[in-house]
Structure 1
Amino acid sequence: MKSANTNASFSGWSGSVSDSQQSKIPLKIGIATGLGALLWLGPYLGVNAVLLPAKVEQIAPGNKATIVALLATSAMIIATLANVIIGGLSDLTRSRWGRRTPWIIAGSIGSCVMLVVFNMVSSIPALVGSWCVYQIFLNAIVAPLIAVISDRVAPMHRGTISSIYAFGYVIGQYGGQVVGAQFLTTVGTGIVVMGLLTLLSGPLAAIIMREPPSIGMPKKQFTWRMFVQNFIFPIHDAGDFYLALFGKMLISTATTAIMGYQLYILSDYILLNTGGQQKYVSIISTLLMITAIVMSISSGTISDRIKSRKIPVFVSALMVAVGVFMPAFTNAPWTMIVYGALAGLGMGIFFSVDQALNLEVLPNEQNAAKDLGILNLANTGSQILGPIVAASIVTIAGGSYYWIFPVCAVLSLAGGILVLFIKRVK
């Protein structure tokens, strides 16, 4: 590799950049990945957390919780497979446009098309089928986009670039729900708008980051060893990898369980009418977004300076646990606002340090997209797992939403403790 900025020499290519090769912070990579994350995650959550439950309620109000759980379960299975397979194929891609660009552009186009299809269907089987195909295309953006940080950012800059990525991710995480809430009375229009926003994700990221060609990279012959390395969950030297995966998944699930059922919590537990639901979805999402942005801007750089990833993640888990427990005290609307503020602060810290932690537990950086795609299940998978957890709790509790809050608090604390057991990272 002759240049950290171009990755142009492939004879000694290793899939990473060293500190000595990259003296300046690669801001374009941060902007590209942050903007790309904003434009896939925001529309996804606008649909998944707000418009999907609203569409299901229109079609089958009597079985809405069960159907949302069915959609989430099916999507989780497909997303898991797509992350691994597409990540592995991305690592092996050789083209004039690079390894990641073809996938994120194809994923953007396909995601847009499938959201339009999802909007048009009205039967439960068609909803499930179109939602699952959408997950395949969505994960064609997710795994390759994250791998760009491993490919083209030196370790000493990863906290800073992770913060820039987190800035876009956080706005998408909560801003998507704010936008989605504005379409509660016109659900179909909202879903189409979200599809059009997703369409911009890959092309804009590709234009900004300008990935170099990968045609000259050494090609790998298909062997059993190559298949295991590129398409199977890591086995060797992977203890820290799985602690990070499951720890972060538990923390994220604690918040997404509430976000996925936020509309039903506000209507059936907080007892708000449609106008009140729309008002509080906007207030809570805005609080989550603002507090998370404040923390995401600074936490990655602070993590670099104190040379610790685990402590910030544990602090974030503790803050999330306190926040999600608040509505268990009373069903007064103000408790959801406190939840939004505390959980937002915690998740801001979490998102900012998240990608830096991911990169430091990789068993093999040459398989970055595949392994980061698996680790990203802690984020995208929890978006799907959260509603399943919430639906299970509500079902077991006989329709009561109360127990979602203490259970999610325990999940977040457990996730923070798992991260503390990671040995490779300080």
Structure 2
Amino acid sequence: MSPSTPPQHQPSAPSPRPDSSGPYVSIVTGAAEPMPKAGFLVVWGMALAQFGLFVALLAPVTVSLAIKVGSLVPAAEAAATTGGVLAAAALVALVANPIIGRLSDYTTSRFGRRRPWMVAGAIGFVLSLALVALAPGVGLVLLGWALAQLFGNMILAPLLTTIADQIPERQRGTVSGNVGITQNLGIMAAAYVALWFVGDMLLLFVVPAVFAALTVFVYCLVLPDRAITEKPDDGGWRLFVMTFWVNPAKHPDFAWVWVSRFLVTLSYFHFIVFRPFFLSDQVGLADPAEMAGVLANGVLINTIALVVFAKLGGWLSDRTGDRKGFVIAATLVFALGIALLAITHDVAMFYVVEVIMGIGYGIYVAVDTALVVDVLPNPQDASKDLGVLNIANALPQSLAGVVGAGLLAIGGGTQNYLALFIGAGVIAVLGAVTIIPVRSRGRGARSAGA
């Protein structure tokens, strides 16, 4: 393929690609022709569904679970208990996402490969968050949140795969930027959901869940989800095991991007998980309502910066064909912001740091998502390989509570925020360093003639 030749869909032959990361059969159907530009309804339906899902998934991570657990255990135990619930349930996401992604690749429903999973996931997701809201003890909170992770990933895995299914390379930087924008708009909306419904536990969890389900249903209506008419050979147990694996020796670019995503996500969730406790302990906002208000304002400021720079970064990346340089620079800016939290003791400085982190993380999520899709080992197994990548998203969420609690305990006690955020900054820098060995700047670079 010459640098100027658009990527081609592969014919639906049942033989594996020679450069595949495992014994995977091709299941993509359709004529061998360039992928057309995705239409308005698909692009914005995708963005709306991502926004709705992120609101409901990130509201508990951001603040709702802290409020719920705080109503069930003594204040001194709330941070550790919340971290434990998040860590344990994130393991469900770790396993569920690649398995569901693989199953969606092989789904032969007349309604398409991705749509049935998203619809079923949306229904289960609402019921799971209702269980969290009504749980009388921490055990049922954990069960409900674990189920929410399962059903949430039943939506998320096929939803993100539609980027590879529906979006041509020349559009991916811009559309992938929507992922970062909607994720952080979701965090912002989650903060305001907590502010509005802090006095009603059922509404706190169920309102965002119902909103998420409705946005997913809308996307399913406009999604041109092509069905496969013949069930392919599933490869047996060997294929199932390989669902969790991409050979790093054969695909080093993907491996380095995986490691980088793991490190940056781990750093980011040190901030997300412990932000309410940081505002209470280090900034001195002991009143829950005051803390929720400052948190909501901070998320708003962060989101404005993120939206602007995610769109700008994604557009510039598409224009220049460069992914790698943008990812490295953005990660370093984010690392600076999170490290500055270590010396932040007032609300004004907290808002300044939110701006810095919004700029860095906005560019990062826009361009890194495009880079990931560009270096997928086998585009015909996109959902499987994106599921492997999602381990780098889910596992840090499980580890952040444990690692963060360890950093907070350095020197005795449970409030060493200097160690927490300096440590998180170092982890983010390592995330930038691990992008350096990536040999390719992405297919976007090749399409641009780089």
> Within 1, Cα distance between the matches of 2:327 and 2:150?
29
Q: CA deviation at 1:303?
A: 0.5
Quickly say closer, same or farther: Cα 1:330–1:8, change in 2 above 3 A. Answer: closer
**Which residue in 2 is equivalent to 1:270?**
283
Structural RMSD (CA): 2.5
Partner of 1:288: 302
Pair 1:200 & 2:177 matched: no
Contact 1:260–1:387 (Cα < 8 Å) also in 2: yes
- The reply to whether residue 233 of structure 1 matches residue 245 of structure 2 is yes
TM-superposed CA distance for 1:170, in Å, is 2.9
Q: 1:17 & 1:321 partners in 2: Cα distance?
A: 44
Deviates more, 1:273-282 or 1:12-21: 12-21
Q: TM-score, normalised by structure 1?
A: 0.91
The letter of the residue matching 2:427 is L
Asked whether the 8 Å contact 1:108–1:138 carries over to 2, the reply is: yes
Q: Is the 8 A contact 2:188 2:296 kept in 1?
A: no
- C-alpha distance in structure 2 between counterparts of 1:242 and 1:62, whole Å: 40
Q: Distance in 2 between matches of 1:262 and 1:190?
A: 19
Partner of 1:166: 180
Find 1:120's aligned residue among 129, 134, 138: 134
| Within-5 A mapping of 1:13-412 | 15=28, 21-60=34-73, 61-214=75-228, 216-217=229-230, 219-229=232-242, 231-235=243-247, 237-274=250-287, 275-397=289-411, 398-400=413-415, 401-412=417-428
Larger deviation, residues 385-394 vs 242-251: 385-394
User: For each residue in 1:245-285, what CA deviation from the matched residue of structure 2 results, as whole angstroms up to 9, or x when unmatched?
Assistant: 22122222222211211111111111113243122111111
Q: How big is the shift at 1:368?
A: 1.1
The amino acid across from 2:190 in the alignment is G
Whether the 8 Å CA contact 1:247–1:416 is kept in 2: the answer is: yes
CA pair 358-173 structure 1, distance change in 2 beyond 3 A: farther
- Cα distance, 1:384 vs structure 2: 4.1
Residue 300 of structure 1 deviates from its aligned partner by 1.3
Structure 1 counterpart of 2:17: none
Describe the shift of the 1:187–1:388 C-alpha distance in structure 2 as closer, same or farther (beyond 3 A): farther
Quick one: distance in 1 between partners of 2:397 and 2:79? Answer: 15
CA distance in 1, matches of 2:268, 2:125: 24
In 2, Cα distance between the equivalents of 1:16 and 1:363? 19
Tell me the equivalent position of 2:440.
Answer: 424
| SS at 2:418 equivalent | coil
Checking the alignment, whether the CA contact within 8 Å between 1:101 and 1:202 is kept in structure 2 is: no
**Which position in structure 1 is the counterpart of 2:431?**
415
Instruction: Provide the C-alpha distance between the structure 2 equivalents of 1:217 and 1:21, rounded to a whole number of angstroms.
Output: 23
Deviations 1:262-318 (A, max 9, x none): 111111111113243122111111011111111122211211111111111111111
Q: Secondary structure of the equivalent of 1:396?
A: coil
In structure 2, distance between residues paired with 1:249 and 1:325: 18
Change (3 A) 1:187 1:264: farther
148-157 vs 391-400, which moves further:
391-400
Aligned CA distance change for structure 1 residues 389 and 15 (closer, same or farther; 3 Å): farther
Separation in 2, partners of 1:272, 1:18: 60
Over the matched positions of the two proteins, sequence identity in percent amounts to 26
Q: Which runs of 5+ in 1 are unaligned?
A: none
In the aligned structure 1, how far is the partner of 2:30 from the partner of 2:192?
38
| Structure 2 unaligned blocks of 5 or more | 1-5, 15-25, 443-450
The normalised TM-score by structure 2 is 0.86
Distance (whole Å) between structure 2 residues aligned to residue 86 and residue 22 of structure 1: 25
Moved more, 193-202 or 37-46: 193-202
Q: Retained in 1: the 8 A contact 2:11–2:30? A: no
Q: Which has the higher helix share?
A: 1
Cα distance in 2 for residues equivalent to 1:294 and 1:89: 36
